[in-house]
Amino acid sequence: MNFKHLHYFWVTAKAGGVMRAGEQLHTTPQTLSGQIKLLEDWLGRKLFQKSGRHLELTEDGRLALGYADQIFTLGAELETAVRQAHGGQRVLDFKVGVADSVTKSVAYRLLEPALSVAEPVRLICSEGKFSDLLAQLALNRLDLVIADEPMSRRISVKAFNHPLGRTAMSFFCAPGLKSQLQGSFPGCLNDAPLLIQGAQASVRQQLEGWLTRHQIHPRIIGEFDDGALMTAFGREGRGVFMGPSVMEAETVAQFGVEVIGRSDELVEEFFAVSVERRITHPCVVAITTAARGQLFG
């Protein structure tokens, strides 16, 4: 494969067309089109198709782009590693996946100690479904996965769960909405607008059981896989929302909401999943030590 042709394809796909790509690469659109055509001929597949005046990736093009992303990311890492080896202090790359059901503020508090280890660290953080992140961990593309549930034994990934801690849950809402609620907690949730976590969140099933046990019937206004988006709706008074009690003070201060109640029956747990049975990675050591001793201790 001619990697110059692949690079031209990659830049064109990222730029959204040959005109912008040509400006970035300081070459003409005609040259770019010709180089990409040679790559398509070599692969025996069309990578782009015309859509009006624009180019769109074909299915084969999207597949090729995924591999090109990995190739040129590794190339950049190679260059950085070699340059550091011959002229500077080594920087430790720490690649972490965060399950999208984990509250962003908690994820920050968990990961922040990794930047305080003795050697310089470059944190490379990605977000996604827990199962997808475990697949990346199995391929050694991640050093650690942060999740709100342990890895199931049924998943054929050689990795280990490291409990970080657990927290009760608090209920928050905007001051204007709080003034409209009737009665004390948790009865005040009856017929109140409620924003809840998506079905993938570990605390979601607990919440449904808790509402049933207490015979509470709120109006479910929205379900969110993204906790940050749920909080944004809650901040604007669209509904009551739930969050970790360990982050209660920060949630109140950051979003201008108020606490209307807490429940020890609703518990959210957090885990670090790594390929190490005995933790030795300095960043993972810092994360687990801080979580167990300070955040959840």
> 3-state DSSP: the chain helix, strand, coil percent, rounded to 5?
45, 25, 30
Task: Report the pLDDT value the prediction gives residue 87, as an integer from 0 to 100.
Answer: 59
Q: What is the DSSP letter of 222?
A: E
pLDDT at 88: 60
Contact 123, 115 (CB under 8 A): yes
Residues 152-185: pLDDT tens digits? 877 777 889 999 999 999 999 999 999 999 999 9
Low-confidence ranges of the chain (pLDDT < 50): none
**Rounded CA separation 22/25 (Å):** 5
The model's pLDDT over 70-114, given as tens digits with 9 standing for 90+, comes to 888 888 777 777 766 555 667 788 999 999 889 888 999 999 999
C-alpha distances in angstroms, 83 versus 86, 87, 90, 110, 122? 5, 6, 9, 31, 15
pTM of the model: 0.68
SS3 164: strand
Q: What pLDDT does 243 receive?
A: 94
- Phi and psi at 124, nearest 5°, equal -115, 105
Distance CA 262, CA 19 (A): 56
Q: Which of 45, 50, 57, 49 is nearest to 15 (CA)?
A: 57
